[in-house]
């Protein structure tokens, strides 16, 4: 299911200066003031900040992010509250503002000064899907869902403590107040959730009552006589009418299997949540492997207050696949915006935000030019950009001459230009993650885990001599190909080793003008860093030999010639492949080339597999994986670690559930059992 291109909001104002939407013919907030409205209607209507006191974490959902005034007013109240809890703010927005328009609009609210500037500085490019942003040292998380609410809400796994309903007036924008949408929101609430809105429209009140909400009218804001608040009383059981209303009124997109199968916390349809919230004693985990996967998940859990015992068989982190001096960072674009493309886009944008916010990483957002392989590929690249209306700050197509001007050399074809992409030294990222995690992570280097076992509700890790190394309620296999040997039973994860060799080039080999951007095609070339450019990489399946090969250096030089035609007869003519230095690493990939993220499946029969889904199948309690990062570990690891940490901590997921399902480590086993099942 591809996402419709985004249509940005148009910034306009009424005669009085209130932000106004020509598209909806309505104002963004009451003329009496956006922030005052946010404080009285949305914060006050949900009894905030009082309800934050004593809570560990709290989740707010909003229909219509608009200018982010409600978010910013909430942030302001939250940061001045005493002992604030961790706060998740999840907001839907069909027409986000362009970066500069948002900055201009928020400049009218000087009292928001630093907060508004932070929001603007992290504002994502206008591409559809989920965007997770962290603020306040990670204690405040904003998940923006860019796209049409009825289309996106079924993809959201979250459980709201409070709702802000703010989707323009019901008469002007009935879609944002439809029974289907309200029932989808209600499914993501628990007994005790509250909601607030300035609208007291009769249809809205009736629908909410049908859905089991208890309504209260309070004095309204800015000339409105009344506003509405509502709560879900403890132990409310929605009436049969409500159930029928919810089913009958759902739009086709709200009837997807994922939506029906995965209500995280409501009683409207009632399978249990997949990941129960861990108590304080349970927030401990063993992580095996200190490459990109292991350090990324350790840091994400540590940021949530978890304690981690991290085991690495090498004497330092990032000595194996994650040890190359430079990895490149670019998204995968697919013509029809297919699943892998949407996943990689979300991961890429999140990775860039993480890199920008983490001190100590050696990286450069110098831009990546992905040169087309031939004319047909060039046509496909152009059509992909045209078809998806992607903003140029994210991706553009450059015809051959424009691309050659950018690089300063003749090129065989044009290509995709990713201005925010670049290169990263993965080991520096791993080290920076561990530094950020601080004392929450205890790293044990030079220690190989050779066996894991489950005992008395905990996972245990053992050394080769049988010594118990650590014990914790959760264990995460982040040890790439070697994970297969530690599985509690044979589970088809389809992990395959893929050998890769890179070659180091002196800048003289590239000549003038100096290379300023990453180039890639069948191979890649990074601009020189500390006197060396990285040229890669060979790609040999089922090969785990780590000895350097001259033949592979020759292969890399051939890749260089494809990137920069004529270079082997020019500045690189004197290079002897036999004398080149480089590095060999083993990538670990899955059959469908997507990673494995989440809890491992528990044993199930073919009959069970025929009736269960990824959302309902049994899991090995506390046993998780972050594996199969393949050739794109720098792109996948940051967001997929955040996904796994969110699952383990029972927090809103940072990705559409369809995308989380695509990386579910149970997918291959479920498919295999179903294929062989006579219960089909």
Ligand X SMILES: Cc1cc2nc3c(=O)[nH]c(=O)nc-3n(C[C@H](O)[C@H](O)[C@H](O)COP(=O)(O)OP(=O)(O)OC[C@H]3O[C@@H](n4cnc5c(N)ncnc54)[C@H](O)[C@@H]3O)c2cc1C
Ligand Y SMILES: C[S@@+](CC[C@H](N)C(=O)[O-])C[C@H]1O[C@@H](n2cnc3c(N)ncnc32)[C@H](O)[C@@H]1O
Interacting residue ranges for ligand Y, rule: CB under 6 A? 9, 28, 62, 64-70, 92-95, 148-149, 166-168, 173, 175-176
| 93 touches, from ligand Y, ligand X, none (C-beta below 5 to 8 Å by class) | ligand Y
Q: Tell me whether residue 595 is exposed, middle or buried, using C-beta atoms within 10 angstroms of its C-beta: 0 to 12, 13 to 18, 19 or more.
A: buried
Q: How far apart are CA 280 and CA 473, in angstroms?
A: 11
| 334 touches, from ligand X, ligand Y, none (C-beta below 5 to 8 Å by class) | none
The contact set with ligand X (CB under 6 A) reads: 288-294, 311-314, 319-322, 324, 327-328, 426, 448-449, 478-480, 482, 500, 502, 536-537, 585, 587, 629-635
- Cβ distance to ligand X smaller for residue 162 or 292: 292
| 184 touches, from ligand Y, ligand X, none (C-beta below 5 to 8 Å by class) | none
Q: How far apart are CA 336 and CA 561, in angstroms?
A: 31
User: 396-402, long-range: CB within 8 Å, 24+ apart, which pairs?
Assistant: 398/369
> Least CB distance from residue 2 to ligand X, whole Å?
24
- Cβ distance to ligand Y smaller for residue 65 or 348: 65
- Cβ distance to ligand X smaller for residue 384 or 479: 479
- Cβ distance to ligand X smaller for residue 161 or 620: 620
3-state secondary structure of 574: coil
Q: Is the peptide bond before 513 cis (omega within 30 degrees of 0)?
A: yes
Q: How far apart are CA 473 and CA 277, in angstroms?
A: 13
| 672 touches, from ligand X, ligand Y, none (C-beta below 5 to 8 Å by class) | none
Q: How far apart are CA 287 and CA 289, in angstroms?
A: 6
| 259 touches, from ligand Y, ligand X, none (C-beta below 5 to 8 Å by class) | none
- Cβ distance to ligand X smaller for residue 31 or 548: 548
| 67 touches, from ligand X, ligand Y, none (C-beta below 5 to 8 Å by class) | ligand Y
| 314 touches, from ligand X, ligand Y, none (C-beta below 5 to 8 Å by class) | ligand X
- Cβ distance to ligand X smaller for residue 195 or 596: 596
> Least CB distance from residue 498 to ligand X, whole Å?
7
- Cβ distance to ligand Y smaller for residue 40 or 70: 70
The alpha helices in 539-617, defined as continuous H runs, are 550-563, 606-611
> Least CB distance from residue 598 to ligand X, whole Å?
15
> Least CB distance from residue 206 to ligand X, whole Å?
52
Is residue 365 within 8 Å of residue 422, measured between CB atoms? yes
| 520 touches, from ligand Y, ligand X, none (C-beta below 5 to 8 Å by class) | none
| 289 touches, from ligand X, ligand Y, none (C-beta below 5 to 8 Å by class) | ligand X
Residue 53 has phi, psi (to 5 degrees) of -65, 125
3-state helix, strand, coil in the chain (%, to 5): 35, 25, 40
- Cβ distance to ligand X smaller for residue 293 or 371: 293
Are β-strands 368-371 and 518-520 bridged in parallel, bridged antiparallel, or unpaired? Answer: parallel
> Least CB distance from residue 354 to ligand X, whole Å?
13
- Cβ distance to ligand X smaller for residue 320 or 664: 320
Q: How far apart are CA 327 and CA 348, in angstroms?
A: 13
> Least CB distance from residue 519 to ligand X, whole Å?
12
> Least CB distance from residue 194 to ligand Y, whole Å?
17
DSSP codes of every residue in 328-390: EE-----TT--HHHHHHHHHHHHHHHHHHHSTT--EE---EEEE-SSHHHHHHHHHHHHHHT-
> Least CB distance from residue 240 to ligand X, whole Å?
50
| 9 touches, from ligand Y, ligand X, none (C-beta below 5 to 8 Å by class) | ligand Y
| 482 touches, from ligand Y, ligand X, none (C-beta below 5 to 8 Å by class) | ligand X
> Least CB distance from residue 444 to ligand Y, whole Å?
47
- Cβ distance to ligand Y smaller for residue 22 or 566: 22
Q: Give me the count of residues in the chain.
A: 680
User: 340-343, long-range: CB within 8 Å, 24+ apart, which pairs?
Assistant: 340/593, 340/594, 340/662, 342/2, 342/3, 342/128, 342/129, 342/656, 342/659, 343/594, 343/655, 343/659, 343/662, 343/663
User: 218-222, long-range: CB within 8 Å, 24+ apart, which pairs?
Assistant: 218/44, 218/45, 220/41, 221/30, 221/32, 221/36, 221/37, 221/40, 221/41, 222/30, 222/31, 222/32, 222/33, 222/36, 222/37
CA 569 to chain CA centroid, Å, is: 44
| 502 touches, from ligand X, ligand Y, none (C-beta below 5 to 8 Å by class) | ligand X
> Least CB distance from residue 325 to ligand X, whole Å?
10
- Cβ distance to ligand X smaller for residue 81 or 463: 463
Residue 233 has phi, psi (to 5 degrees) of -60, 155
> Least CB distance from residue 453 to ligand X, whole Å?
14
- Cβ distance to ligand X smaller for residue 115 or 510: 510
| 64 touches, from ligand X, ligand Y, none (C-beta below 5 to 8 Å by class) | ligand Y
Calculate the alpha carbon distances from 205 to 233, 444, 664, 674 in Å.
16, 58, 39, 45
| 319 touches, from ligand Y, ligand X, none (C-beta below 5 to 8 Å by class) | ligand X
> Least CB distance from residue 560 to ligand X, whole Å?
15
> Least CB distance from residue 420 to ligand X, whole Å?
15
Q: How far apart are CA 251 and CA 546, in angstroms?
A: 54
- Cβ distance to ligand Y smaller for residue 116 or 290: 116
Q: How far apart are CA 7 and CA 2, in angstroms?
A: 15
- Cβ distance to ligand X smaller for residue 169 or 487: 487
> Least CB distance from residue 94 to ligand Y, whole Å?
3
Which of 94, 99, 208 is CA-nearest to residue 153? 94
Q: Tell me whether residue 653 is exposed, middle or buried, using C-beta atoms within 10 angstroms of its C-beta: 0 to 12, 13 to 18, 19 or more.
A: buried
> Least CB distance from residue 464 to ligand X, whole Å?
10
Calculate the alpha carbon distances from 453 to 449, 456, 467, 476, 596 in Å.
11, 10, 12, 13, 21
Element (H, E) at 503: strand 496-505
| 288 touches, from ligand X, ligand Y, none (C-beta below 5 to 8 Å by class) | ligand X
- Cβ distance to ligand Y smaller for residue 35 or 396: 35
> Least CB distance from residue 41 to ligand Y, whole Å?
10
Q: How far apart are CA 45 and CA 271, in angstroms?
A: 30
| 168 touches, from ligand X, ligand Y, none (C-beta below 5 to 8 Å by class) | ligand Y
Q: Identify the sign of the CA torsion 289, 291, 294, 298.
A: positive
Give me the torsion for CA of 21, 22, 26, 30, rounded to 10°. Answer: 50
DSSP codes of every residue in 168-232: S-TTT-GGGG-HHHHHHHHHTEEEEEEEEES---HHHHHHHHHTTPEEEEEE-STT-SEEEEEE-
- Cβ distance to ligand Y smaller for residue 299 or 656: 656
């Amino acid at each position: 299911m591809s996402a419709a291109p985004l249509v940005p909001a148009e910034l306009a104002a009424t005669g009085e200066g209130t932000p106004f939407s020509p598209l909806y013919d309505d104002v963004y907030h009451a003329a009496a003031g956006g922030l005052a409205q946010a404080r009285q209607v949305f914060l006050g209507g949900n009894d905030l900040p009082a309800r934050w006191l004593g809570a560990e974490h709290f989740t707010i959902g909003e229909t219509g992010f608009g200018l982010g005034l409600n978010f910013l007013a909430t942030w302001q109240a939250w940061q001045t509250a005493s002992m604030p809890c961790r706060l998740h703010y999840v907001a839907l927005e069909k027409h986000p503002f362009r970066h500069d328009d948002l900055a201009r609009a928020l400049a009218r609210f000087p009292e928001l000064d630093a907060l508004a500037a932070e929001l603007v500085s992290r504002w994502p490019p206008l591409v559809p899907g989920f965007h997770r942003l962290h603020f306040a040292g990670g204690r405040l998380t904003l998940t923006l869902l860019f796209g049409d609410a009825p289309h996106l809400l079924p993809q959201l796994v979250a459980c709201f403590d409070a709702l802000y309903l703010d989707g323009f007036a019901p008469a002007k924008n009935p879609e944002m107040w439809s029974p289907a949408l309200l029932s989808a929101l209600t499914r993501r609430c628990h007994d005790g959730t509250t909601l607030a809105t300035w609208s007291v429209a009769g249809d809205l009140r009736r629908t909410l009552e049908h859905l089991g909400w208890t309504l209260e009218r309070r004095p309204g804001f800015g000339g409105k006589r009344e506003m509405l608040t509502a709560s879900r009383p403890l132990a409310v059981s929605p009436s049969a009418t409500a159930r029928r209303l919810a089913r009958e009124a759902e739009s086709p997109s709200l009837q997807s299997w994922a939506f029906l199968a995965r209500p995280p916390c409501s009683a409207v349809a009632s399978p249990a949540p997949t990941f129960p919230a861990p108590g304080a004693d349970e927030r401990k985990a063993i992580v095996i492997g200190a490459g990109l996967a292991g350090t990324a998940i350790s840091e994400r859990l540590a940021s949530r207050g978890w304690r981690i015992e991290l085991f690495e068989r090498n004497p330092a982190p990032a000595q194996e696949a994650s040890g190359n001096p430079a990895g490149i960072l670019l998204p995968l674009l697919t013509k029809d915006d297919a699943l892998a493309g949407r996943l990689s886009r979300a991961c890429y944008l999140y990775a860039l935000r993480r890199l920008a916010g983490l001190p100590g990483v050696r990286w450069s957002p110098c831009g990546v030019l992905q040169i087309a392989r031939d004319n047909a590929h060039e046509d496909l690249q152009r059509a992909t950009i045209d078809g998806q209306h992607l903003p140029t700050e994210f991706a553009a197509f450059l015809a051959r001459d424009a691309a050659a001007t950018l690089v300063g050399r003749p090129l065989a074809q044009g290509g995709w230009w990713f201005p925010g992409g670049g290169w990263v030294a993965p080991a520096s990222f791993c080290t920076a993650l561990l530094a950020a995690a601080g004392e929450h992570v205890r790293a044990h280097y030079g220690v190989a885990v050779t066996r894991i076992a489950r005992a008395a509700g905990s996972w245990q890790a053992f050394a080769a001599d049988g010594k118990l190394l650590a014990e914790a309620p959760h264990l995460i296999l982040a040890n790439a190909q070697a994970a297969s040997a530690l599985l509690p039973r044979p589970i088809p994860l389809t992990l395959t080793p893929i050998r890769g060799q890179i070659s180091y080039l002196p800048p003289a080999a590239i000549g003038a003008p100096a290379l300023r951007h990453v180039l890639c095609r069948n191979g890649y070339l990074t601009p020189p860093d500390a006197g060396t450019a990285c040229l890669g990489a060979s790609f040999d399946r089922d090969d785990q030999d780590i000895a350097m090969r001259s033949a592979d250096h020759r292969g890399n030089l051939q890749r260089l010639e494809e990137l920069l035609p004529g270079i082997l007869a020019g500045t690189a003519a004197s290079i002897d492949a036999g004398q080149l230095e480089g590095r060999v690493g083993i990538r670990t990939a899955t059959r469908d080339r997507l990673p494995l993220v989440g809890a491992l499946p528990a044993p199930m029969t073919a009959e069970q597999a025929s009736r269960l889904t990824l959302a309902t199948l049994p899991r090995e309690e506390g046993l998780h994986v972050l594996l199969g990062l393949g050739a794109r570990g720098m792109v996948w690891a940051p967001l997929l670690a955040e996904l796994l940490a969110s699952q383990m901590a029972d927090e809103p997921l940072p990705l559409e559930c369809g995308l989380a399902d695509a990386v579910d480590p149970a997918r291959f086993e479920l498919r295999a059992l179903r294929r062989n099942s006579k219960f089909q």
